[in-house]
Every structure is written in C-alpha cells, then in structure tokens.
A and B are shown apart, each in its own frame.
Chain A
Amino acid sequence: MTATLTPTRKAGPAKRLRSFARRWWHQLTSMRTALLLLLALALAAIPGSTFPQRSISAPDVADYYTAHPDLAPWLDRVWAFNVYTSPWFSAIYLLLMVSLVGCIIPRLGVHWRALRAKVPDAPKRMSILPYHRVVDAEANQSLARAVLKQRRWRTVMREHEDGTVVISAEKGFLRETGNLLFHTSIIFLLLGVAAGSLLSWYGNRILSEDKAYCNNLQQYDEYGLGAWVEETDLPQFCVTLNAFDAEFTDGGPTAFDADVTYETGGETGDYDLKVNHPLNIDGTNVFLIGHGYTAVVTYTDRYGQTQTVHQEFLAIDAALNSEGAFKFPDANYNPATGTVDEDAEVGFDAILVPTYDDSSGMLIGSDPELNNPVLALTAYTGDLGLADGQPESVYAINETQIASGNLDQVNDQVEVIGIGDSMELPDGSSLTFDGVEQYAVLQVRHDPGGPIVLAGALLLLGGLLPALAVRRRRYWIRWNPDGTVEAAGLNRNDYDGLDEECDALTAAIAPGYEPPQATTETDDSIGSQP
C-alpha cells in the first residue's frame, strides 16, 4: 500500500528493510525504551513472589494445585510457577540487554574519542559560561600548568597570533568510564549467572547422625543438574555426620553444629559444619541448611520378629513438631508357612512432639528441644501400596490406599507414647519408641558461575560510584593581549561546587586573587524565596 501511495520514492526493498531495521534499532536502544523495559521488568518480577515457584519449593506448587485445581493448570500454562525462566520474563530482560548493548557500544566509541581529543579552546566571550571571573592579580602561566597538572586536569595550552594565551583544562572523564563499566558489568554478571545455570549442580541430602553418604545422584533426596553437567562429572567424595548439636535459648535455636568427616581421593578430614560456614571440598561447597529429628522405633510383628527403623521426620512448625511415617511392607512373614500373610503390611502415621506437655491436653508442643519427646501414632494394616512402582512420600501413609479401603485404620484415636513405651496392635504386634536422633540437611552445590557473578558485582559497584559521584567539568584561563586575565568554568553535569572549585584553582594560579564573597548563607540556601 505504501509503495502505491508514494510512487515517487522508489527505495529498493533492501534499503527499506535497512531503514526499517535502523529505525527499530534506534527505538530499542533509546533511553526511553530502556526505561519502559526496566519498569516492565520490575512488574514482571512480581508474580514470582505471589505464586509458589518450582525452583524454590516444588511441594508448595503441588499444594497450590490441590488448593486451586481449576486455576493452577491455567497459571502453569502462562509459566506462573516458573516466572524467572518464563519466555515473557526472559524476553523482557533479553530486550533490555540488547538495548543496553546498543547503548554501550556507540558510547564506548564516543568516550574513546573524547579521551583522546584535545580540550577545546575557550569561547570568545568567556562571560557566557556559568563560572566567569576577571582575574585582577598576577597570574603565572607555568604555575597555572603546574597547578592544573598537580590537580589531575588534562590541559592544553594555546598561543594565538594576536598574543592571546589560553590554557584549557578538563577533568572528570572517570564519570563516563564508570558509567560504561557499570553497564558492561551488568552483562558480565548475567553471563556469570548463565554460566552458573549451565554448569552448576546441587543436591540436598538429609543425613542422620552416624550415617554417611557419597556424592552421587542416587544418594540425594533432591538434586538439580545444569544443562551441561553429566551425572558422571560429579566429583567423588563421601561425608559422614558424626554428631549434630542444636542449641536452643528460650525456645528458639541459637546454634547448629554438625561434626562431619569427609573423604575425597583417599584423603580424610574433619570439619565443624555450621550455618554460615560451609565446607569446601575442591570447589564444591557443603552447606548446613536445616535440621530435624529422626525417630527410632522397633516393630515386633505377630510372629515375634523385630525390625528397627530410623525415620527422619519433617518439621511442621518452628517448635519442630514433626510429621513422618513408619512403613513395614515385609512384616508378618510366617516362619511356619514361609509366606507373608495376606494384607499384613503395617504402617504408622506419626507426629513427633519434642516437648509434650501432658497437663495441657494439647498434643502439639511449643518447645523445639527434646525435653519430653512423644510419638502420636495412627496405625494402618493392609496394603501400603508400595508395590505399584509409583514414587511416594516416605513421610506419610498413602492417602489413596486408605481411601480405597486397601488400608484399614486400626485405632480411631491417636495413641501417644513416650520413649521406651510401646503401642500394642490387636494382632499382637507392637511398635516401641526407642529414641530420637538428630539429622542435618546438607546442601551440596558447585557453581562455577559464582566467582564471575561476584567479579561482575564488584566491577558494577566500582563503576557505579564514579558514574554518580564524578562530574565532568572544564576550566579555562586566558591571558588577553590587553593584559587582562580571565578565567571561566563549565560543568558538563549537575554540579553545585563549580564556583568554589574554579575559584580555588584561580586563587592557586594567581596567588593575589581574592574570590568574591560568597552570597550569605541563609537557612533557605536550598532555594531562593521570593
């Protein structure tokens, strides 16, 4: 349509495409677009805090699905549970990065030329400049150059044919240098983040006291590998938790202390692992990120056979009231017949209360310390549903098996037992509460992008400070043929101190010069009132 309407302008398609691209490039790299993109980025980040994120807590996303079964799939379709890797969030920050690069590159060239250019000559009428003084004192040219040089001004001296001598000086290039460094280091920092997401890996492991594990994926409760990391790339090491100590003051934790032994490449070492003090094994960090209680119970089945389990419990509140389950799928093996009784699997849903107060009538305690630990148990018999190959929580009895009638609830009211006590089941079997151990939650993480990000952050700060604090300004002093001397200054950025600085310079160059009295400071110095 456009072509038919304007037949006189016969630009070739290639040229039109070029001008179209150029126009859009200008649009994209303009400050205004960058501003809009920044605000869009701020806006786009918000849903990540209002919806549960898979990257932070997958169980919370699952809970959200349970709570909002209709809404959740739709939210998932617009990446509401993966905001920070979503196409729309990525699009905004990638556009911002392109805009940033498009802004930096031309400015690099401009700045490079500015750094090499000579300071320009003074304007003919120096009085038009924001700072201007007629110097009524002896001003020495070589002293002027020395003073300016000593104060780190770039200077150029020009002698004109009519006998005029001008010294031009400029200072404050560090502002633009810092500005460019700041913006470049944002890209550098993001490259570090990108490298991290490709090359990093992590694993979380719950480890009870006196237990050990080795660094391979099968032994982690949860793990994540970067796109370029193979399972076989993981370094070989093993970690043993010798003891875990949690200190509490007034019902709140004040210190966690995990005594660990690690083994790597035939070397062993001991480490006192604490929050904020990770263990570094050849560039891989082991962090202490949580803790909890492990209940130890012994189940004696109806044939008198016993099995002891150490089961980790998950805290449900700050007082470490914890939930867990004990499952005995291979109990009640009949030694006489050599078969397992039909529907004789046994499971217990349990709440572990660290400090049980029997006077209050409340099961849930308020103290995380192990002052009076009890287990509140609900027993089930039948088919635990473990044989179907579906992965399921080790912390709870399978609800669907209960709902489908494959599991029968044995006791209507939870039975509360202390350490050393037993819960007797109608079939003659029993569960004995042997004691409580502690476990530590370890996070093992290797992120080669981390140092790049840190370097980027330091460069960013290093660029930001001069970019905001330094002002580019010029100063001229001119010896006119008629014997008068003039000085002038120009600020290229908002700068209140221009007059003072230039006066100080003039005074240093012309020792007899007295700057005019500063206008009297009132307490309204910020603004001039009518």
Chain B
Amino acid sequence: MTGADVANALFVATILTYAAAMFAYAVEYAFDKRAPKRAKALATVGAAGDAVAEADSGESESTEAPISPAAARGAGRLGLVLTFLGTAALAASIVTRVIHTGRWPWGNMFEYTVGVALAGMVTWLILVSRGMVPRRIGLFATFAVTMVLGTSVRVYTEAGPLVPALDSYWIIIHVTAAIAASGILMIGCVFAILHLMKRRYDRQVSDGKPVRFPLNIAERLPDATALERLTFKIHVFAFPLLTFGIFAGSVWAHFAWGRYWAWDPKEVWAFIAWVVYAAYLHARVSGKSAKVNAPWLAILGYAVMLFNLTAVNLVFSGLHSYAGV
C-alpha cells in the first residue's frame, strides 16, 4: 500500500464518517425535545435519518416520538465525535499525501477542494466548541462538506509532482489563504441560507400560511436575527483573509509570470468575488432594505467563489490550470 493509497483510504473514511455524523445530527435535530413543538408530526417517521426530510408528512396522529430526547441528544454527541474523527481523518489524509509527494498539498484542484473542506470543518468545530452554534446545526455543515468532498472526487488527480510555476513558498501563503477563506466563507454561506430559511419560515408562520418541505426544516433553527449576525461575523472574519489571499497571489504572479495583475480568468473572478463580498459588507450597514437583501449577496459571493473554482478551472483557459485541472 503506497502513501497515495493510504491517503485515498483515509479520504473515503472521511466521507463515510461525515455522512454518519450527518445522520446522527439529523436524529438530534429531529427528536431533541428542546427543539419546539414539531415532535408530534415527526413521530410517524420510522427512519430517523429521513425524519427531517419527511418532517411534514405527518399522516398519523401518534404522540410518542420513537426516539427519546435524551437518545436524540446522545446521537448529537455521537455526531460531534464523528465530526471530530472525520476532520482528523481528512487532515491525516492530507498529511499522508504530503509525505507521499514530498510537497505542499495544494497542487491541483482536487487537493484544493479537499483543503477547503478541511478549512470549513475546522471553522465549524471552532464555532461549536466556543458555543457559538448549537451542535445539531452540524447537520447542515456536514451536509455541505459531504457534498464538497463527494464532488471533489470528480476532479481526482493522482498525487504527483508540481509544475515549476508552483514550486515556490508562495504556494503556502497564497493558496493556504485562499483555501482558508473559501472554507470559512462556505460556512458563512451555510448560515446565510439558514437565516433566509428561518426568516421565510417565521414570515409564513406569522402570516398563518402552511409551511411545507423544505421550509419546515427551518423550524428548529435558532433565531433568524442571531443567524444573520453570525453570518456577518463569519464574513467579517473571512473577508480580510480573502483580501490577503488575492494580494499574496498578486505578489506571486509578479515573480512567476512577470506581472502582478493581468486579468487572467482566475484573477477576474477573484476580483468579482471580492467586490461582491465588499458589497455584502456595505449592504449590511446601508439601511434596512439593503440589510434585508445582504444575505443574498453573501450567497451570490459564494456562488462566484464556486464558479471561480469549477468553471474557471475546467472551462476557461488561463494560467491557473495545473495538472489538467
């Protein structure tokens, strides 16, 4: 078994662990009684993992949840442990790749995406550990990261050596900053979506309208205002990092390509993402109606980040194409 095989085995283990964690969080999210009211409707659903998805199906009138709140909280704790384990496995997978290749592990799109997943989950675990988010919301974080990791397989690249342009200590500075910013912004985007869901849910409820799937998931989310403030905090933290990442890339571009900025597609879209996030930060302090729409800008910003990672690497031809992707 080579180092690359070990790294890949750990990678698969990571995805499975996160998926299991997601399942455990779903149990807690659905059946912890501290989450309000809904328990009755949920009671009918046998499979806990499907509980959230089918929370509103409620055909039967039975009153007892099949899983007690204490057991649900136990599942949540298990989910958290699994999240820690999965993150450790992911980090170990990256370290194994480093040992195998003898180089910094941000050499191609696959490795970049895996790095973003790690950065996102580390951010998440820090938020949970500091008590800034309820544990059961880990459902959405593990969902996001499982999607990211699952998608990254599509651009899997054999662990190999780097092209000369990447052979620089700037890869540590620039790419690490970009990965950290992307990972943190991913979590920020998750919160922006959760906020919008909860806000919509609250409005539906106060208007007396029925709440259908998938909006009913939002019932157990924390307060919408609190979610919005957390969204903002995360973006405030990530924005300087993104800025620094772009500047570091610019300095590196000067050394590697002879110019600091030349509107390479990756540069164009990084610029667009930066401008959109700047607009988000401004919208948040530009009066009520702008603030209401600000979360959409945060989501747009992350959409641009994802576009910059995927379409710009795979469709546009530019200087940021390495190892085929």
Contacts and interface: CB of A to CB of B under 8 A. Distances in A.
Interface residues of A, number: 58
Given A42-B272, A443-B258, A454-B251, A275 B243 contact: no
Interface stretch (A49-57, A137-145, A324-332, A382-390): A49-57
A181 to B, nearest CB: 13
Nearest to B294: A35
A529 B223 contact: yes
Interface stretch (B63-71, B82-90, B117-125, B226-234): B226-234
Interface string A71-96: 00000000000011000000000000
A464 B161 CA distance: 37
A366 B221 CA distance: 55
A252 B163 CA distance: 7
B4 to A, nearest CB: 13
Contacts of B168: 275-276
Given A35-B290, A84-B263, A278 B268 contact: no
Contacts of B223: 526-529
A202 B290 CA distance: 44
A439 B21 CA distance: 55
A500 to B, nearest CB: 14
Contact of B247 (A278, A447, A461, A523): A461
A125 interface: no
Interface stretch (B5-13, B52-60, B180-188, B273-281): B273-281
Given A48-B263, A526-B222, A32 B286 contact: yes
B133 A468 contact: no
A530 B34 CA distance: 9
A34 B281 CA distance: 12
A453 interface: yes
A461 B244 contact: yes
Interface in A260-297: 274-278, 285, 287, 289
Contacts of A46: 268, 272
A524 B222 contact: yes
Given A276-B256, A525-B131, A252 B161 contact: yes
A275 B257 CA distance: 8
B36 A529 contact: yes
A39 B260 contact: no
A39 B279 CA distance: 7
Contacts of B150: none
A34 B162 CA distance: 42
B250 interface: yes
Contacts of A146: none
Given A48-B268, A250-B161, A276-B255, A526 B260 contact: no
B222 A276 contact: no
Contacts of A42: 271-272, 275-276, 279, 304
A464 B235 CA distance: 13
A202 B259 CA distance: 10
Interface in A484-530: 494, 521, 523-530
Interface in B243-297: 243-244, 247, 250-252, 254-265, 268-269, 271-272, 275-276, 278-279, 281-283, 285-287, 290
B187 to A, nearest CB: 13
A363 B123 CA distance: 51
A493 to B, nearest CB: 9
Contact of B276 (A39, A445, A525): A39
B134 to A, nearest CB: 5
B139 to A, nearest CB: 14
B200 to A, nearest CB: 16
A411 B278 CA distance: 62
B21 to A, nearest CB: 16
A526 B134 contact: yes
B325 to A, nearest CB: 12
Given A250-B161, A276-B255, A464 B239 contact: yes
Contacts of B131: 521, 523, 525
Given A465-B240, A468-B240, A526-B134, A31 B285 contact: yes
Interface string A445-489: 101001001100100110011001100000000000000000000
B97 interface: no
B123 to A, nearest CB: 15
A304 interface: no
Interface residues of B, number: 66
A526 B198 CA distance: 14
B146 to A, nearest CB: 22
B160 A289 contact: no
Nearest to B279: A38
Given A45-B271, A275-B165, A527 B282 contact: no
Contacts of A276: 164-165, 167-168, 170, 252, 255-256
A287 B36 contact: no
Interface string A47-67: 011100101100000000000
A527 to B, nearest CB: 3
Contacts of B264: 56
B323 interface: yes
A469 B224 CA distance: 23
A193 B261 CA distance: 10
B258 A35 contact: no
Interface string B170-192: 10000000000000000000000
Contact of A464 (B163, B240, B250, B287): B240
Interface in B66-120: none
Contacts of B271: 42, 45
Contact of B257 (A249, A289, A447): A289
B20 interface: no
A516 to B, nearest CB: 19
Nearest to A449: B260
A529 to B, nearest CB: 6
Given A468-B236, A529-B35, A529-B223, A256 B229 contact: no
Interface of A: 31-32, 34-35, 38-39, 41-42, 45-46, 48-50, 53, 55-56, 83-84, 193, 202, 249-250, 252-256, 274-278, 285, 287, 289, 443, 445, 447, 450, 453-454, 457, 460-461, 464-465, 468-469, 494, 521, 523-530
Given A39-B276, A56-B263, A464-B240, 14 more contacts: A46-B268, A48-B268, A49-B265, A53-B263, A285-B258, A289-B257, A447-B259, A450-B254, A464-B239, A469-B236, A494-B229, A526-B222, A527-B227, A530-B36
19 contacts: A31-B286, A38-B276, A42-B271, A46-B272, A49-B268, A56-B262, A254-B161, A254-B164, A275-B165, A276-B168, A287-B256, A287-B258, A447-B259, A454-B251, A494-B232, A524-B222, A526-B226, A526-B227, A527-B227
Pairs A-B, 3 closest by C-beta atoms? A527-B223, A527-B222, A527-B226
